[in-house]
Amino acid sequence: MNLSFKNVLLVNGTPRSGTTWLGQIIDSSPHVRYKYQPLFSNTFKERITLQSSENEVNHFFEEVYNTKDDFLDREKEKKHNIHQRFEQKNTSPDVLSIKHVRYHYLLPYLLKQIDNLKVCAIIRNPCATLNSWRKAPKEFREVDGNFNEQWYFAQQRDRFKPGEYFGFHKWKEAVMIFLTIKKWYPERVHLLQYESLVHKTMEEVKRLFDFAELKITDQTNDFLKRTLNEHNDDTYSVFKGKKQTEDWKQELDPSIIEQIYRELKETPLEVFLK
């Protein structure tokens, strides 16, 4: 199948782990066409599955690349200045980049099926991830009940659906998927810690762009300066100014923190507590 682009770069992470900021950083490249959660959109809802053929997956990517859609393109967010609209864009960019906070279980299958596909997975300290979810009124809703009863399984939010990844249980599942695909496809999977992206932004962006075979332009540099200096309180804004990475230590229930540390001690996931 002849495709309109050369490579696919998937951006994955659990909810409230920095995927929106990371996705916009990648979108700042003129050589990227960026799309937001197509498998969660009305247009492409769960279009591909573990049973999809290579041809069906490529057809999906081709359709996403060529579809203009307010949801995929975050038009509302750009209009309200909580996301940035990048004016310097190639007419036919070589890279299709897609962000998802859902459907991470598809990643091993997609890497096996599609040779020109890479994955960048961002991982945030689970305590910080849960605390961010707790404080986001659009994400942890009144109907979701008591946070201290929901933080582990997110049973009201996720409804135990395989493609949803709120809650500590699904954080563990997602990160184990990310670690596994990194082991299986070391040259095609890039793991990025949110805290490192915050504290060593330029260094991590350079590593990311090298991995994606993209050049950093003034558009990316200007965007990074703006995100690090402007502040917008909207839950989904990428403009957060100086980001806090340890506010959870004062805000999250100590019993939750204690249980998370206890469960992750001496496991491959313990490194993400540091």
Q: ∠ CA 261-16-83 to the nearest 5 degrees?
A: 155
Task: Tell me which residue of 61, 62, 34 sits closest to 120, measured CA to CA.
Answer: 34
What pLDDT does 119 receive?
Answer: 99
CA-only gyration radius of the chain, Å: 18
pLDDT tens-place values along the chain, 274 residues long: 899 999 999 999 999 999 999 999 999 999 999 999 999 999 999 999 999 999 999 999 999 999 999 999 999 999 999 999 999 999 999 999 999 999 999 999 999 999 999 999 999 999 999 999 999 887 888 778 899 999 999 999 999 999 999 999 999 999 999 999 999 999 999 999 999 999 999 999 999 999 999 999 999 999 999 998 999 988 889 998 878 899 999 999 999 999 999 999 999 999 999 8
Using an 8 Å Cβ cutoff, are 200 and 245 in contact?
no
Q: Where are the alpha helices (DSSP H) in 80-163?
A: 107-113, 126-135, 147-150, 155-158
What pLDDT does 110 receive?
Answer: 99
What pLDDT does 141 receive?
Answer: 80
pTM: 0.96
- Taking the CB of residue 139, how many other CB atoms lie within 10 A of it? 16
- Supply 261's token pair: 């540390």
Give the SS3 label for residue 101: coil
Whole-angstrom Cα distance, residue 117 to residue 11? Answer: 11
Whole-angstrom Cα distance, residue 157 to residue 13? Answer: 17
Using an 8 Å Cβ cutoff, are 181 and 189 in contact?
yes
Where does 146-256 show beta strands of DSSP type E?
189-193
- Taking the CB of residue 265, how many other CB atoms lie within 10 A of it? 10
What pLDDT does 240 receive?
Answer: 87
Residue count (the chain): 274
Whole-angstrom Cα distance, residue 168 to residue 213? Answer: 33
Q: Residues 6 or more apart from 203 whose CB is under 8 A from it?
A: none
Domains detected in the chain: 7-273 (3.40.50.300)
